[in-house]
């Protein structure tokens, strides 16, 4: 992978990480369409995800600082919320450790990615009814509990596969369970920090063994993902609060369908 290709893929990652269209799926698509070779596909994937993790940390810096201080001073609300984040992370940890080889193979499986994008569209479409019901009831957001955290975590575990949107799936599950849009987005993104950091830890040996040239390439991709990610996260929250989240379903169906047709046609 050249530095220009890494830069381009980093921009794609940053823009699609916070929109519910699967950043990993888009990376597979762009590699396939443009013939970009990358021997360490999962390593690059985690590198650009680390950059978007930093974007999340910047956007939610006040909430994160409050949680850290709350845990250190033994505030019950902060301890409870942090514990829910840990519970929500467990499904992804189990899947990531037990099926890592299978998951990595899916990054080289464009057909599976195309079908996964179609599934993402179906998941996103369900949010249309969830948001409408939440508004019609005029009720406050349901309280996050262990059951909701675990179910949202199962959605995150499913989204390890390329083509399944992590933000889309986790937010859709939270909305379906009665969580308000802003609270659903916050829990989804804070949950992502733990999952992405955990994935990065698993690849540290590979990262340490990477050549200096490979490290520079990873830096290009990560820098591009950070800048574009910060720009995209603000737009994501506004769209979610405006009740237009489900509109991304059409995009996921279109991209997934066209990508499948392109592969079947053998272009």
pLDDT higher than threshold 90 for residue 155: yes
pLDDT at position 82, please?
94
The token pair at 196 is 């992405």
Q: What is the distance between the alpha carbons of residues 52 and 149, in angstroms, rounded to a whole number? A: 22
Please determine, for residue 149, whether its predicted confidence score (pLDDT) is greater than 80.
yes
Binning pLDDT at 50, 70 and 90, where does residue 216 land? confident
Q: Look at the block and give the residue holding tokens 């733990």.
A: 194
pLDDT of 250: 93
**CA-to-CA distance for 122 and 172, rounded, in angstroms?**
10
Mean of pLDDT values over 182-206 = 79
Instruction: Point out the least confidently predicted range of 107-111, 134-138, 190-194, 259-263.
Output: 134-138
13-71 tens-digit pLDDT: 788 877 888 877 887 787 777 776 654 456 676 777 788 888 888 889 999 999 999 99
Higher pLDDT, 166 or 130: 166
Long-range contacts of 2-5 (CB under 8 A, 24+ apart): 2/217, 3/216, 3/217, 3/220, 5/34, 5/36
* Average predicted confidence (pLDDT) for the chain: 83
- Taking the C-alpha atoms of residue 100 and residue 94, their distance in angstroms, rounded to an integer, is 10
172: domain range?
3-265
Predicted local distance difference test score (pLDDT) of residue 140: 56
pLDDT band at 208 (very low <50, low <70, confident <90, very high): low
Domain count of the fold of the chain: 1
Question: What tokens were used for 256?
Answer: 């997934």
Q: Model confidence over 122-146: pLDDT tens digits? A: 999 988 877 666 666 655 567 889 9
Convert the pLDDT of each residue in 70-92 to its tens digit. 999 999 999 999 999 999 999 98
User: What is the mean pLDDT of the segment spanning 223-234?
Assistant: 86
More reliable by pLDDT, 237 or 228 = 228
Record the pTM.
0.83
Is 48 exposed, middle or buried (CB count within 10 Å of its CB: 0-12, 13-18, 19+)?
A: buried
- What pLDDT score was predicted for residue 131? 66
User: Is the model more confident about 257 or about 217?
Assistant: 257
- Mean pLDDT for the stretch of residues 101-120: 87
Residue 207, pLDDT score: 65
């Amino acid at each position: 992978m050249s530095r220009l290709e890494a830069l381009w893929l980093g921009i794609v990652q940053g823009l699609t990480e916070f929109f519910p269209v699967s950043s990993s799926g888009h990376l597979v698509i762009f590699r396939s369409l443009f013939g970009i070779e990358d021997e360490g596909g999962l390593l690059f994937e985690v590198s650009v995800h680390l950059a978007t993790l930093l974007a999340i940390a910047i956007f939610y810096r006040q909430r994160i600082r409050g949680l850290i201080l709350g845990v250190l001073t033994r505030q019950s609300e902060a301890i409870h919320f942090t514990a829910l984040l840990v519970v929500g992370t467990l499904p992804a940890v189990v899947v990531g450790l037990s099926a890592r080889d299978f998951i990595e193979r899916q990054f080289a499986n464009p057909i599976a990615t195309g079908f996964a994008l179609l599934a993402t569209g179906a998941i996103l479409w369900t949010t249309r009814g969830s948001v409408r019901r939440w508004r019609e009831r005029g009720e406050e957001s349901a309280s996050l509990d262990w059951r909701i955290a675990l179910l949202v975590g199962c959605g995150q575990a499913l989204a390890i596969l390329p083509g399944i949107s992590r933000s889309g799936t986790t937010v859709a599950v939270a909305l379906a369970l009665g969580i308000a849009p802003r609270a659903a987005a916050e829990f989804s993104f804070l949950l992502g920090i733990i999952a992405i950091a955990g994935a990065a830890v698993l690849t540290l040996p590979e990262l340490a063994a990477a050549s200096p040239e490979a490290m520079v390439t990873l830096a290009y991709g990560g820098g591009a993902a950070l800048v574009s990610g910060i720009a995209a996260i603000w737009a994501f929250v506004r769209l979610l609060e405006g009740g237009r989240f489900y509109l991304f379903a059409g995009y996921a169906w279109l991209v997934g369908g066209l990508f499948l047709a392109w592969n079947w046609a053998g272009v």
